[in-house]
Amino acid sequence: ETKCGKEKVQAVIDHYGETLPHAECVIFSDYGKHFSESAADIIGMANELKVPILVDPKSPDWTAYAGADLIKPNLAELHAVGGNISALLKKFRIKQMLLTEGERGMTLWGKSKQPLKVQADAQQVIDVTGAGDTSIAAWAVGKSEALGDMDCLDFANAAAGVVCRKMGTAVCWRDEVG
């Protein structure tokens, strides 16, 4: 990473620190580009201000994601980090895990003694591009509307189903979700 690249990352983090006190929620999507080394700082800043932080992980090293309110791996990402959900939540002090399981739906682990499960909502899958991003965004919207965990799970699942019925990177509009 060049000095210029580090300066740009720092400028974004500085802006994040300025706007964070006004945020209802933060979604940290780790695409493995530039911000991976800053994940712990980004999460720590949100924790200090008690702003819920949701993480979409890419790295098999979840150390940087410690303390997140929710982590949303897919099955491959979960297996890459060892697959033991209870141990991962405890080890990294993560409150909840929203596991996206493709055609098998989604499962929420964490607060309840039993995981909450919903079946996939895509009747005709055309393209799965963006389904994971949509599910975490929809979860955040549901939480901002004070929905309970099961309602958020249903909403995230339905929104992901909508984008799976569209070609390419697609938007899910609120009125498309039942």
For residue range 44-69, list pLDDT tens digits in order: 999 999 999 999 998 888 999 999 99
For residues 147 and 132, the model is more confident at 147
For residue range 2-50, list pLDDT tens digits in order: 556 788 888 999 999 999 999 999 999 877 776 778 899 999 999 999 9
Contact 142, 25 (CB under 8 A): no
Helix (H) / strand (E) containing 40: helix 39-48
Is 149 tagged catalytic?
Answer: no
Whole-angstrom distance, CA of residue 14 vs CA of residue 109: 33
In one-letter notation, the amino acid at residue 57 is P
Secondary structure E strands in the chain: 26-29, 53-56, 70-71, 96-100, 106-109, 116-118
The torsion angle over the Cα atoms of residues 131, 137, 140 and 144, rounded to 10 degrees, is -130
Q: Which positions ≥6 away from 144 have C-beta within 8 Å?
A: 24, 25
On whether the pTM is more than 0.85, the answer is yes
For residue range 85-111, list pLDDT tens digits in order: 999 999 999 999 999 998 899 999 997
Whole-angstrom distance, CA of residue 56 vs CA of residue 58: 7
Whole-angstrom distance, CA of residue 48 vs CA of residue 41: 10
Set 30, 127, 133, 149: catalytic member: 133
Q: Which token pair is 104?
A: 């098998």
DSSP letters, 148-165, are -HHHHHHHHHHHHHHHHT
